[in-house]
Each structure stands twice: as structure tokens, then as C-alpha cells.
Structure 1
């Protein structure tokens, strides 16, 4: 004797268990990409979409291309730069000293110092 609900194992609003007989899935095509490490990535696109030239490899994260014989090279990872490193690229030591002196002078005037 069974107990419980007749709809056990499904939830409200879930998709049907089998494809609908009255509709067809959109036409698709499979495009294959290759990365420099030799990995093969298969991606499905809609039939009317132009596939991009490169796609990220799902195994190594490097760019993969459509040409198996000439895959794109490895992407160059830029090292992490702090905010201070970017500031030092834009300003010289002399500029920094001048800005610091100006800011300190403003603080001293507000506090009533010399």
C-alpha cells in the first residue's frame, strides 16, 4: 500500500518530464574550439548565430579558437597592482610630496596651527 502524494518526486512549476509533442526544439549546431593545450571544447549555438572566433577553454581557461592547427596563444595574466602602484604610475615623487605638503597645510590651518 502506497502512502503519500501521487505527485511525489516532482515540484510545482517544474518542466515536463518529456518533450512536448506539439513543439520542436530550436535548431542548433555544434561548434568545436581548440586551445593551445590541445583541449577540445564543443559549444552549441543557435543555427542562425555566427559563432565567436574565440571561446574560453573549460578545462584550462585559456582562449580556444576555431582552427585546430593554429589555436590562439596563451593569454597574458597581468600581475595584481595595488592602488598605490597605479598612483605612482601617474605621479612623480615630487608631485606626491607637493600634494602631501598642501594637504598637511590645510589640516594645520583648520586646527589653528602654524
Structure 2
């Protein structure tokens, strides 16, 4: 059936009606962001808002900047560190041995006091 009803498949209140019913939209500006993988991301912001320096690329998730010639570098991911690796960063071997000796002395004191 080629003819049919022109508003077939819609309902009252559905779809775009125009600015007369919705009111006037705020003035906007287009800001373009570029990531290290050469993805281009256009984002619209209100004119009275300052856009952020970086924006996450929706395609690859990398940070994107506004300068096409120099996009933000790919962030370096740190390898997984164990708790012991973090402790060794904060303390030297001598400090660790001193703390271990203090803890063993306290344990020995409690054992002798309990006897």
C-alpha cells in the first residue's frame, strides 16, 4: 500500500516539533578534539562555557586535545606492583630490618610476659 496515512507510526508528543514548541536553543560552538590515533571528535558546547583541554576519544578511549598537530601523548600504563614493591620504594633495607627487629622484640616480650 503506497498511499496510506502520512503520520502513520507516530503518536502525539513524539518526534521533533520545532523551536516554536520547545523554545529557542542556546547558542552553541563546535570544538574539535584530536587523539594520538588520528581520530577526530567534534563536540558541541554552549558558547558561555569554556571547553576542557582534553576529551576522551569515543573510538579508542585515549585523551584527545584541541591541537591537531600535537595531540596528547598516549598515557604510559604502570605495571602491576605488589604490596612489597610499594614498601620497598618507601623504606630502605636497613629501615625494614630495624622495623622487623622491633616487631620481633615486642612478640618476644609478650611471650615471656605470658609465661
* TM-score normalised by length of structure 2: 0.70
Aligned twin of 2:74: 74
The structure richer in helix per residue is 2
Q: Does 1:100 align with 2:111?
A: no
Structure 2 gap segments, 5+ residues each: 1-12
**Inter-partner Cα distance in structure 1 for 2:94 and 2:55:** 46
SS in 2 for 1:34: strand
1:22 positional shift: 5.3
Alpha-carbon distance change, 52 to 22 in structure 1, aligned in 2, over 3 angstroms: closer
1:83 matches 2:86? no
- Indicate the larger mover: 88-97 or 24-33: 24-33
Q: Please tell me whether Structure 1 or Structure 2 has the larger radius of gyration of its CA atoms.
A: 2
Q: How many residues align?
A: 99
73-82 vs 103-112, which moves further: 73-82
Superposed displacement of residue 25, structure 1: 3.0
Query: Taking structure 1 as reference, are residues 22 and 37 closer, same or farther at Cα in structure 2, changes over 3 Å only?
Result: closer
Q: CA deviation at 1:106?
A: 0.7
Q: Unaligned regions of 5+ residues in structure 1, if any?
A: 1-15
Aligned CA RMSD, in angstroms, stands at: 2.4
Aligned to 2:6: none
Shift of 1:38: 0.7
Rate the CA distance shift 1:67–1:111 in 2: closer, same or farther, 3 A: same
